[in-house]
Amino acid sequence: MLAGGEGQGVQKAMQLLTALGEVFGAERLVPITSAQIAGVSYGNIGDAGMELLEDWARSGARVRVATTLNPAGMDPERWREMGVGKDYHDKQLRIIKAFTRMGVRATCTCTPYLVGNLPKRGEHIAWSESSAIGYANSVLGAMTNREGGPSALAAALAGRTPLYGLHIKEKRRATVVVGVDGEAGLRTAFDFSVLGYAVGRAVGSGIPFFEGIGRADQDRLKIMSAALAASGGIAMFHIRGVTPEARGQRLAGLEKVIIGRREMEEARLRLTADGSPDLACIGCPHCSIGELADIARLVMGRRVADGKGLWVWTSRGVYARAKRRGYVSAIEAAGGRVFTDTCMVVCPLEESGYTHMITNSCKAAHYVPSTTKLKATVAELHEAVGSVMEGGGSGCV
């Protein structure tokens, strides 16, 4: 492959992978079973990225493993409602076409594990969406480094990745203990997002081992994975009694960090802008079916206020299920919108005309002010949704 016997596209992939392997001291490559590629939005990769992908696709290279895509820069059906221009739309479609020519499934979601790209424990994979990387390593027990878009694509085309970092069992051990104080009051998915954000800030990088969490469902773990990677560089964590590799971790001698109510409040305040939000964005990471059900219940019998918006983000696969169950029509009957294939961070959100986003996701509130001109505030799901409804208030789930 490196010598070019399988074509230029595969050769380019191998050149990239061997260069990476040399930088990180990998002794060999390891076969992978799955890839997930970020860097899909035209707004992020621009003309240069689009042309590079088109070149790669023209070479005839095809992926060798199940490969899915991260969110793109627009909803392919409702892009006009998002304020996306025709030129942006056309170029975004060219990017997706280049990927599909290489055999990539255009799932356009950061929750590939909810739509069929679900690696098993111990499998080597190459994923590049930071929230999904944390989820895959920690919750699924699959093994991936923090790939970039190009290195994940290269791994998919070569069917292998350099063996270093989180592909090696010993490198997956906890490096710091995080004690979650009972006063932190963990109940909702929002609490887990704030916890992740606080821990990312306190720890930076490494592999935290959480004590004191008790129980955590899929939605809580996915939103926490996103926040840990946003405020820190955390690609893996363990939770006693919850995650598959927590058992048998050696904790003696590790530094211990305590997170309590004060640290949680500090994290929340960092993500709270002045002023009144006019757009609630829910779905970072992309909503699960349960989250869409919660939003549908929250808006039942209510209306989004004039001049305000409720935008919900999910994958096409979950959208189809939610539509069958009536959640999409409930949200849209209330004046909200459910978009697929994109998100508040990678679409041109400033084109929406709104100026201040409110969300239950610390990752979204961390990035939106730097990727768009909007201000951002975090809040519980029911508060975020309630703040844009007629008469305000929060409702309950």
Q: Which residues bind ligand F3S (CB under 6 A)?
A: 70-71, 110, 129, 131, 226, 284-286, 313, 343, 345-346, 363-364, 367
Minimum CB distance to ligand F3S, residue 15 (Å) = 28
In the complex with ligand F3S, the residue whose CB is nearer, 174 or 189, is 189
Minimum CB distance to ligand F3S, residue 384 (Å) = 15
Measured CA to CA, the distance from residue 257 to residue 195 in angstroms comes to 12
Do 88 and 42 meet the contact criterion of CB atoms below 8 Å apart? yes
3-state helix, strand, coil in the chain (%, to 5): 45, 15, 40
The residue written with tokens 């959100």 in the block is: 349
Residues in the chain: 397
In the complex with ligand F3S, the residue whose CB is nearer, 10 or 338, is 338
In the complex with ligand F3S, the residue whose CB is nearer, 9 or 196, is 196
Minimum CB distance to ligand F3S, residue 132 (Å) = 8
Minimum CB distance to ligand F3S, residue 375 (Å) = 17
Measured CA to CA, the distance from residue 210 to residue 199 in angstroms comes to 10
In the complex with ligand F3S, the residue whose CB is nearer, 118 or 251, is 118
Cα–Cα distances (Å) from 248 to 13, 96, 174, 252, in that order, read 37, 43, 10, 12
Minimum CB distance to ligand F3S, residue 197 (Å) = 13
In the complex with ligand F3S, the residue whose CB is nearer, 11 or 130, is 130
For Cα atoms 112, 74, 323, give the angle at the middle one, nearest 5 degrees.
60
In the complex with ligand F3S, the residue whose CB is nearer, 277 or 285, is 285
Q: Which two tokens stand for residue 314?
A: 């999910």
Residues 309/287/74/320 CA torsion (nearest 10 deg): -110
Minimum CB distance to ligand F3S, residue 371 (Å) = 9
In the complex with ligand F3S, the residue whose CB is nearer, 70 or 144, is 70
Minimum CB distance to ligand F3S, residue 346 (Å) = 6
Looking at residue 119, the DSSP 8-state letter turns out to be P
Minimum CB distance to ligand F3S, residue 192 (Å) = 14
Minimum CB distance to ligand F3S, residue 38 (Å) = 8
The residue written with tokens 């927590």 in the block is: 246
* Angle in degrees, 0-180, between the axes of helices 218-231 and 189-203, rounded to the nearest 10: 30
Q: In 3D, which of 194, 193, 206, 190 has the Cα closest to residue 256?
A: 206
Partnered with residue 259 across adjacent β-strands are: 180
**Tally of CA atoms within 13 A in the half-sphere of 200 that contains its CB:** 27
Minimum CB distance to ligand F3S, residue 149 (Å) = 12
For Cα atoms 382, 384, 387, give the angle at the middle one, nearest 5 degrees.
100
In the complex with ligand F3S, the residue whose CB is nearer, 87 or 370, is 370
Minimum CB distance to ligand F3S, residue 128 (Å) = 11
Measured CA to CA, the distance from residue 391 to residue 397 in angstroms comes to 18
Measured CA to CA, the distance from residue 67 to residue 276 in angstroms comes to 41
**Tally of CA atoms within 13 A in the half-sphere of 348 that contains its CB:** 18
The residue written with tokens 């309630």 in the block is: 386
Looking at residue 45, the DSSP 8-state letter turns out to be H
Partnered with residue 177 across adjacent β-strands are: 209, 256
In the complex with ligand F3S, the residue whose CB is nearer, 1 or 281, is 281
In the complex with ligand F3S, the residue whose CB is nearer, 217 or 265, is 217
Count of helices and strands (H, E) across the chain? 13, 14
In the complex with ligand F3S, the residue whose CB is nearer, 56 or 135, is 135
